[in-house]
Structure 1
Amino acid sequence: MKELRLRVAFLRSEMLRAEPAAVARALDDLCRDAEQADPAARDVLGAVVPVLADPALSERVAQLRELAGSLALLSLSRLLRRKARRREAQPASPAPDERQVATSGAGRALTLGERRALARRPTRAAFDALLRDPHPLVIRNLLANPRLTEDDVVRLAARRPASPEVMTEIARHPEWPQRARVRMAIVQNPGAPPEIAVPMVRLLLRPELLQLAAAADVPAVVRAAARELLERRPPVPHKPGGALEQ
């Protein structure tokens, strides 16, 4: 996982350092290869997705989205698609519920600083309460806790109504979005922001895309991304031992 973290950090620095048009063209080439189920391209794209989800890079991502349109970089445009169709009602972002925060033994609601410190402790004693915490900084610390399991993150990503800020924290983490179950929990959550879910769709395998394309409760833009990618994926070769999933 250390190698993955280094790769994400390197791609982040390059996205900020390099000339925007060059970054846009490189990402377009990468996306085009990934759409054809190229394993190496999909592997690199897996490290790009957390970078795109980082709010600190939102201006650069917006710039790349604009360049994708002006330079006719179609694969990149599909990766960075974010807006749902006009007729589709967008789910409202739930207001933080402070009743869900962890409490002390005396029943006092813990402060934000106390909850962040608790999320860093190498113990699962307060995990149930911390997984329900509405503050993204608490979730950020919790996601870095070595005691956190994949089941915990799937539970967090599948929670409804979803907090866009919490979903962003999961998506920007260098490791958790690489887990197939975590990705599916995010893209199938109606509250996941499309600018997070759509790039993640590019990492799904064919059976996952089929499942997502048929899901009635996800935003139309996410379903459309799944269907479009299914059309662009090459046919699955049939072999004596069975079909190879792509």
Structure 2
Amino acid sequence: MQKEEEDRIRQAAGADEDEIGRYLHDPSPAVIKALLANNRLTDQDALIIARRKNLPGDVLDALARDKRWSEIYPIRLALARNPKTPLIAALSNARGLRLFDLAELAGSPLLPMVFRHKIEAVLTEKIPTVALGLKRSLAKTVSGGVLLALMKENDSDIITACLTNPRLTEALLYKLISRKSTRADTIQKIAGHPNWSSRYTVRLALVRNPHTPLARCVDFFPDLRTIDLRNLFGDPSVPTMVRPYLHQELLSRGEQPEEALFGEETLYEITDEENAEGIAE
């Protein structure tokens, strides 16, 4: 350690309130540790240190363990937001944070994935007890598992907000549609959504879901690849009412569906009248 740094460490440890500011951005972790031991350090000084993203984890951990700051909300939030804060310290400081601050942490791409997943789990557990108005607001901003949890709610406004959430992805929606527990009205909202119902993987999932209106399923068929239509026709999870229309679409493309799986071809022949009635239902 150079003498100059040793001098700064000594000076930081004994600095008075007017002098502390000159050491808050010191590049040396040892100087910052000395500053943390200074009893003249104020809340605002500690907050500046907590926000520094160029400090090693052990310095931030020392700050997190200091009981002087354990009840200071801005410092706890800053430590939780700092990607350099060690996981245990970050989680400890995240405990008790406000709902929307937790939502921000869960969606921050700057924070470690394991930390975000744990925050998501905390938020998901809280969802059932959150007031309806807060759920509607959260639905516009949250991501991942929290978004999926909100889409289980029996509230049209929440579902609408979730579907317009910029963090909603095809993968999440596919997972939701594929769950048997997903509410029928939620599936119908997705099937009628002008954006999401045009996504290819979402359409495949919707065709397999028994709550998707038949007319919407039939609307999707012309844009599906033949190989996917054949896979759908051979998938036992596809609703029975959809099969005749899948069969018809495949025949119109010159395909011969696997009779061995589903019996005689005539089983799926439908008259024009039946076709109109079935789709209209």
Tell me the TM-score range normalised by the shorter chain: 0.3 to 0.5
Higher gyration radius (CA): 2
TM-score of the superposed pair, with normalisation by structure 1: 0.47
Higher RCO (C-alpha under 8 Å, 6+ residues apart): 1
With normalisation by structure 2, the TM-score equals 0.42
